[in-house]
Amino acid sequence: MANPSLLILAGDGIGPEVMAEVKKIIAWMGDKRGVTFDVSEDLVGGCAYDAHGTPLHDDTMAKAQAVDAVLLGAVGGPKYDTLDFSVKPERGLLRLRKEMDLYSNLRPAQCFDALADFSSLKQDVIAGLDIMIVRELTSGVYFGEPRGIFTEGNERVGINTQRYTESEIARVARSAFELARKRGNKVCSMEKANVMESGILWRQVVQEIHDKEYADVELSHMYADAGAMQLTRWPKQFDVIVTDNLFGDLLSDLAAMLTGSLGMLPSASLGAPMANGRPKALYEPVHGSAPDIAGQGKANPIACILSFAMALRYSFDMGDEATRVESAVEKVLADGVRTADLMGPAGGTPVSTSQMGDAIVAAL
Amino acid sequence: MANPSLLILAGDGIGPEVMAEVKKIIAWMGDKRGVTFDVSEDLVGGCAYDAHGTPLHDDTMAKAQAVDAVLLGAVGGPKYDTLDFSVKPERGLLRLRKEMDLYSNLRPAQCFDALADFSSLKQDVIAGLDIMIVRELTSGVYFGEPRGIFTEGNERVGINTQRYTESEIARVARSAFELARKRGNKVCSMEKANVMESGILWRQVVQEIHDKEYADVELSHMYADAGAMQLTRWPKQFDVIVTDNLFGDLLSDLAAMLTGSLGMLPSASLGAPMANGRPKALYEPVHGSAPDIAGQGKANPIACILSFAMALRYSFDMGDEATRVESAVEKVLADGVRTADLMGPAGGTPVSTSQMGDAIVAAL
Ligand SMILES: CC(C)[C@H](C(=O)O)[C@@H](O)C(=O)O
Ligand SMILES: CC(C)[C@H](C(=O)O)[C@@H](O)C(=O)O
């Protein structure tokens, strides 16, 4: 059988630095576990714009479609702030999501024991937290038409369209229910059905899919504003949360920040199965490109390394290898090894990006 | 001069209970301060639907347009969950907001010293917190057309439209800048300009109004997802936040929950000045109708009382009287008087809704 293929798009800012540490894990897997990946690399975001005048070249798009999984670092930076909307770094990422049809974005919000103190929330509220946000990623107001800035009379009007079809809702709901079955068997769906018709349809379809196909899973519905409150008040009440693209953007960032350790959190964006049975997939850390610390060896590579672990689990059916990587991360944290962002009052051994990667490889 | 007029719409659930305590304050003001209000009362929400088959009767709407200020309790309850979208209790509230053109929704998130322990956030993160969220309230995806659930091919599609005109953005921006000048002189504007054109226009117009009219106020811009994160991480970095209707819904609820004492938080919804110079105005607690505790004397009336204090300040130019009410609330809290929702590990004197109202009047 051919080696599993991986396209690395390190992107901008700290992207290349954190990705360098993932490559160490990949190398270790080839040496020690006999698992060899066919790795290719390319540009996305600002660096792609610098090279080609577009944040995602068509050739790169074609490569992404052809591989088993894409691993992305981060995109964006102040240098690109004044670019036109259509060529901003983010458009590269959004094009990948849309054209690969990665409709199910998995964002675990997990609190690591060694870091519970890092949260702005009280320890008992956050210790042991383990929730999974499933965000719809290819539709909604991110992609709906009509959109744009128009002139009406003598003033400008900004328009975007929130639009969800039944089948778009159904497939991401299924993805959430499937995940729940492997976890706490509970799904909470969030929308604003009290003010938006698209939210009414969302609620109906999620309920229908539940009743027909997943009646064994416990399902509840919550308005997204109440969801933001409840996530802040007592996040451990949730297991899996399923929500739309825009609410998911806010709520998953909120959930990530609850844990206090943004530099720790991975994500997976999954689409339909390809001919080989593997889902279309892109993995990326939740954090951004952090231009303020880029190139200084300060970045925390763990979110990117855990994104690779998600790739092992969800794309390559190597759950054991994924757990091995995750355990190595936990061990290193328990040992007090800390990049700058993880340096709290309790102290620890300060390390650079590269030393953190080495420590994790050593713990493997 | 005619007495200032006030329309009380107590609404559903705990609405009537908490409003009864406000009436004690109003009576006290007549007796002791020589300030008499012309008070009328009417129905909104589920109770209006029960009486008239609509959550807001046209006569009530006309009264609301005619008075100096509306004071609202809360709307909604499980009994009305299965009603058609068009007659749900919320529609009554949304109609008031829209037809009175209450475009500027002021939601203070304030942490009361005596209650700092109530938050799920750490004490140092939250102690002394005092931010003001200014939420656009009459436009955006709440009201944009087209909207609805349609059939396309053989499936349903849910559609809503996010729509902002330049003047809608400009007026709420002005409102935020004016408030900031009376507070910490800092405004942070939140949108998703990286993915939504309506967000691009939002950012541009806020910046233009700033540069032309409020260059003395410090202005920053933040993506709404980052805003949710930063509110969770270190909310004290903010003074005034201005944002659109939908983001404001989530972010203000999040900010409210940061304080841990939802039963404490008031809001004001303001429109353009009327002939008498007073703004169109509606005041309401941030909490909902809490049907689970309705009718049991358990509700905390403070949010509603503080909403009345906001009316004194913003509608009637009685800032001193408002401060008097707010100080009475603080004194009662400092004395350890506690409704059930405020009963923490530190204990206190448990009181009913009505006893809390009496205690505040006594402290006045
Ligand atoms: C970079 C940006 C376009 C993106 C989004 O809004 O989806 C980011 O915030 C995310 O959550 O992945
Ligand atoms: C009740 C509901 C329609 C309302 C809203 O979504 O605006 C509420 O959540 C609020 O924030 O006042």
Average pLDDT over residues B34-51: 97
- Residue range A320-330: average pLDDT? 96
| HEC-encoded secondary structure of chain A | CCCCEEEEEEECCCHHHHHHHHHHHHHHHHHHHCCCCEEEEECCCHHHHHHHCCCCCHHHHHHHHHCCEEEEEECCCHHHCCCCHHHCHHHHHHHHHHHCCCCEEEEEEECCHHHHHHCCECHHHHCCCEEEEEEECCCHHHCEEEEEEEEECCEEEEEEEEEEEHHHHHHHHHHHHHHHHCCCCEEEEEECCCCCHHHHHHHHHHHHHHHHHCCCCEEEEEEHHHHHHHHHHCHHHCCEEEECHHHHHHHHHHHHHHHCCHHHCEEEEEEEECCCCCEEEEEEECCCCCHHHCCCCCCCCHHHHHHHHHHHHHCCCCHHHHHHHHHHHHHHHHCCEECHHHCCCCCCEECCHHHHHHHHHHHC
Contact B25, B33 (CB under 8 A): no
Q: What is the mean pLDDT of chain A?
A: 96
**Which of B75, B80, B88, B93, when mutated, tests ligand 2's pocket best, judged by the most ligand atoms within 8 Å of its CB?**
B93
Model confidence band, residue A2 (pLDDT cutoffs 50, 70, 90): confident
| Bridge partners, residue B9, by sequence | B42, B72
B345 has a pLDDT exceeding 80: no
**Percentage with pLDDT > 70 across chain A:** 100
Give the SS3 label for residue B364.
Answer: coil
Chain B residue with CA closest to A87: the answer is B194
CB B167 to CB A155 under 8 A?
yes
Question: Which band of pLDDT confidence, cut at 50, 70 and 90, is reported for residue A100?
Answer: very high
Give A162's contacts in chain B (Cβ within 8 Å): 141, 158-162
- Residue A85: name the closest of B192, B85, B273 by CA: B192
Residues A35-52: pLDDT tens digits?
Answer: 999 999 999 999 999 999
pLDDT digits (tens, 9 = 90+) for B181-237: 999 999 999 999 999 999 999 999 999 999 999 999 999 999 999 999 999 999 999
Residue B116 is predicted with a pLDDT of 82
What is the percent of chain B where pLDDT is above 90?
A: 93
Q: Which residues line ligand 2 (CB under 6 A)?
A: A 194-195, 225; B 90, 93-94, 249
What 3-state DSSP class applies to B185? coil
- Asked if B257 reaches chain A (Cβ–Cβ under 8 Å), the answer is yes
- Residue from B253, B258, B287 whose CB has the most chain A CBs within 10 Å, to mutate: B253
- Judged against a pLDDT cut of 90, whether residue B112 lies above it is answered with no
| Mean pLDDT lowest among A39-53, A91-105, A109-123, A164-178 | A109-123
Q: Does domain A1-114+261-364 have CATH number 1.20.1250.20?
A: no
A302 pLDDT higher than 80: yes
Looking at residues B327-350, what average pLDDT do you find?
Answer: 91
Model pLDDT for residues A329-364, shown as the tens digit of each residue: 999 999 999 999 998 777 899 999 999 999 999 999
* Atom 1 of ligand 1: nearest residue by CA position: A90
| CATH architecture type of domain A120-259 | 3-Layer(aba) Sandwich (3.40)
Of B141, B164, B205, nearest to A196 by CB-CB distance is B141
Q: Is 3.40.718.10 the CATH classification of the domain at B1-112+262-364?
A: yes
pLDDT in tens, B274-321: 999 999 999 999 999 999 999 999 999 999 999 999 999 999 999 999
The answer, for B265 touching chain A at a CB cutoff of 8 Å, is no
Domain ranges of chain B: 1-112+262-364
- pLDDT range class, residue A193, cuts 50, 70, 90: very high
Nearest to B98 by CA among B268, B269, B277, B244: B269
Q: What is the DSSP letter of B331?
A: H
- Using the Cα atoms of residue A93, residue A98, residue A101 and residue A107 in order, give the sign of their dihedral: positive
pLDDT at A188: 98
Query: Residue A1's pLDDT band (boundaries 50, 70, 90)?
Result: low
CA distance A58 to A74: 19
Average pLDDT, chain B: 96
What is the predicted pLDDT for the residue at B337?
A: 95
pLDDT digits (tens, 9 = 90+) for B235-246: 999 999 999 999
Query: Measured between alpha carbons, how far is B61 from B40 in angstroms, rounded to an integer?
Result: 13
**Residue B77 CA, ligand 2 centroid: distance in Å:** 13
